[in-house]
């Protein structure tokens, strides 16, 4: 299996420099954070069997760019585009300027910058349609959806993630400069989680409802994650499905933009908010447990004879009996300007325009993602406060070596 490596070239800080322990969140264990060195020069390897930015450690900032191919971007031109973009990504993620980069100082502190590419159906139609995965198509239409074309579809996605919003912005500009001869921008979405070092690394993030979000994910590198994300190790996952990767070391990416009505959510008291998901807000423990990673007990009954974790709670509905109906979620929060006073935007009229750029990676969309989404669209208590407003599905090709480029198999 492909691993990832994080390299830090930073010299340790001088004693006393930046080394202030900060108690960031009372109520959460292990919150003493000591910032001992600047993280700007940390890098995540670009070259390798798999693309970075899928199950490598999650950074603080992300930009997703959906591109539509121009009519004259045929297979040859597409291959030129991917060579150029691969070269840019390889340089920028390692702290070097892109080719002809006039502002290479902006690339000097990549702060774990990663660039990940995904292909929509059109890329296969213009190159090798026989390699198109069967699941590469829009998700079914759901009654809960209010999809906005401004966040839906796209022929190519570029996912840029990093801990420094400045190097993320620079990468975005460099990549778009090289893409513009071949494609137009369909949409851009920017998101964030906690700043790096605001809490210990690997702490599960919180979304803008205050929930700890990502607990149920398979642990990157574990057998389960290898199977769920990359289709490795048939038969050892205890599931019933035959999870074949569409191409070795490739995966799929579903991006759903989901508006979260924070203002109406605020009207619920804490126990009601916890009941909607089935987990506590403080530690993220299931309502039947004490610690974040305790297994939920869906059979446990409360004093009134009703299940402690409601049958319509988000975690009950999202959990399948088949362990292969699972995904790896790597979401980012968004928080845009609120609607003008009196206007309604995506169900939100108050002081917020917030939500989740919900991103899920799995080997096979139809076998793993869609059954869960079907179930949640049918019944999920959380739906009262959330509206999906964007949707896109991409195939994520494998990584490449220094003499190759991302997507090369489609041009062979």
Residues that bind ligand HEM (CB under 6 A): 207, 209, 211-216, 256, 258, 260, 277, 279, 314-315, 318-319, 356, 358, 372-373, 376, 382, 386
> Smaller CB distance to ligand HEM: residue 78 or 360?
360
**What minimum distance in Å lies between the beta carbon of 293 and ligand HEM?**
10
CB-closest chain residue to ligand HEM? 216
The rounded distance, in Å, linking the Cα atoms of 164 and 155 is 27
Both tokens of 144, joined, read 């809960």
**What minimum distance in Å lies between the beta carbon of 28 and ligand HEM?**
15
**What minimum distance in Å lies between the beta carbon of 60 and ligand HEM?**
18
The gap from C-alpha 19 to its chain's centroid, in whole angstroms, comes to 31
**What minimum distance in Å lies between the beta carbon of 58 and ligand HEM?**
13
DSSP summary character for residue 198: S
> Smaller CB distance to ligand HEM: residue 121 or 211?
211
**What minimum distance in Å lies between the beta carbon of 111 and ligand HEM?**
25
Q: Interhelix angle for 165-179 vs 75-93, to 10°?
A: 160
**What minimum distance in Å lies between the beta carbon of 277 and ligand HEM?**
5
Both tokens of 178, joined, read 């090289």
**What minimum distance in Å lies between the beta carbon of 315 and ligand HEM?**
4
Alpha-carbon separation of residue 31 from 21, 27, 195, 197, 208 (angstroms): 9, 9, 14, 10, 20
> Smaller CB distance to ligand HEM: residue 172 or 346?
346
The rounded distance, in Å, linking the Cα atoms of 153 and 28 is 39
**What minimum distance in Å lies between the beta carbon of 57 and ligand HEM?**
17
The rounded distance, in Å, linking the Cα atoms of 64 and 361 is 14
**What minimum distance in Å lies between the beta carbon of 217 and ligand HEM?**
7
The rounded distance, in Å, linking the Cα atoms of 372 and 379 is 11
Both tokens of 259, joined, read 């508006």
> Smaller CB distance to ligand HEM: residue 66 or 284?
284
Residues with Cβ within 8 Å of 161's Cβ and at least 6 positions away in sequence, in order, are 53, 58, 59, 61, 62, 63, 112, 113, 114, 116, 168
Residue 196: CB atoms within 10 A of its CB come to 21
**What minimum distance in Å lies between the beta carbon of 203 and ligand HEM?**
13
> Smaller CB distance to ligand HEM: residue 54 or 356?
356
DSSP summary character for residue 57: P
Beta strands in 261-370 (DSSP E): 328-329, 332-335, 354-362
The rounded distance, in Å, linking the Cα atoms of 278 and 308 is 8
368 within 8 A of 324, measured Cβ to Cβ: yes
406 within 8 A of 163, measured Cβ to Cβ: no
> Smaller CB distance to ligand HEM: residue 170 or 381?
381
389 within 8 A of 345, measured Cβ to Cβ: no
> Smaller CB distance to ligand HEM: residue 319 or 330?
319
111 within 8 A of 39, measured Cβ to Cβ: yes
> Smaller CB distance to ligand HEM: residue 46 or 151?
151
> Smaller CB distance to ligand HEM: residue 55 or 101?
55
The rounded distance, in Å, linking the Cα atoms of 329 and 58 is 11
> Smaller CB distance to ligand HEM: residue 172 or 256?
256
């Amino acid at each position: 299996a492909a691993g990832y490596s994080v390299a830090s070239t930073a010299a340790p800080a001088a004693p006393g420099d930046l080394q202030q322990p900060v108690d960031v969140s009372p109520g959460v264990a292990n919150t003493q954070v000591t910032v001992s060195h600047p993280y700007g020069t940390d890098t995540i390897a670009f070259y390798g069997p798999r693309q970075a930015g899928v199950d490598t450690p999650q950074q603080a900032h992300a930009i997703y760019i959906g591109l539509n191919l121009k009519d004259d971007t045929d297979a040859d031109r597409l291959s030129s585009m991917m060579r150029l973009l691969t070269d840019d990504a390889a340089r920028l993620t390692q702290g070097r300027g892109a080719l002809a980069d006039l502002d290479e100082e902006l690339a000097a502190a990549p702060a774990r910058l990663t660039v990940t590419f995904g292909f929509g159906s059109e890329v296969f139609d213009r190159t090798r349609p026989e390699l198109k995965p069967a699941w590469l198509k829009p998700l079914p239409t759901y009654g809960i959806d209010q999809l906005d074309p401004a966040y839906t579809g796209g022929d190519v996605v570029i996912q840029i993630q990093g801990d420094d919003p400045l190097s993320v912005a620079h990468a975005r500009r460099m990549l778009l400069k090289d893409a513009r001869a071949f494609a137009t921008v369909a949409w851009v979405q920017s998101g964030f989680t906690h700043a790096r070092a605001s809490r210990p690394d690997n702490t599960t993030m919180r979304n803008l409802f205050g929930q700890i979000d990502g607990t149920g994910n398979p642990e990157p590198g574990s057998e389960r994650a290898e199977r769920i994300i990359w289709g490795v190790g048939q038969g050892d996952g205890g599931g019933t499905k035959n999870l074949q990767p569409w191409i070795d070391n490739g995966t799929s990416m579903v991006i759903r933009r989901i508006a979260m009505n924070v203002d109406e959510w605020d009207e619920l008291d804490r126990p009601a908010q916890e009941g909607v998901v089935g987990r506590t807000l403080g530690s993220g423990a299931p309502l039947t447990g004490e610690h974040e990673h305790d297994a939920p007990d869906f059979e446990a009954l409360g004093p009134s004879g009703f299940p402690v974790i409601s049958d319509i709670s988000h975690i009950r509905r999202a959990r399948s009996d088949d362990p292969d109906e699972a995904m790896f979620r790597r979401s980012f929060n968004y928080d845009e300007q609120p609607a003008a006073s009196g206007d309604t935007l995506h169900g939100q009229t108050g002081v917020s325009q917030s939500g989740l750029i919900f991103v899920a990676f799995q080997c096979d969309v139809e076998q793993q993602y869609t059954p869960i989404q079907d179930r949640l669209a049918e019944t999920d208590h959380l739906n009262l406060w959330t509206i999906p407003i964007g949707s896109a599905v991409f195939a994520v090709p494998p990584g490449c070596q220094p003499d190759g480029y991302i997507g090369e198999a489609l041009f062979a």
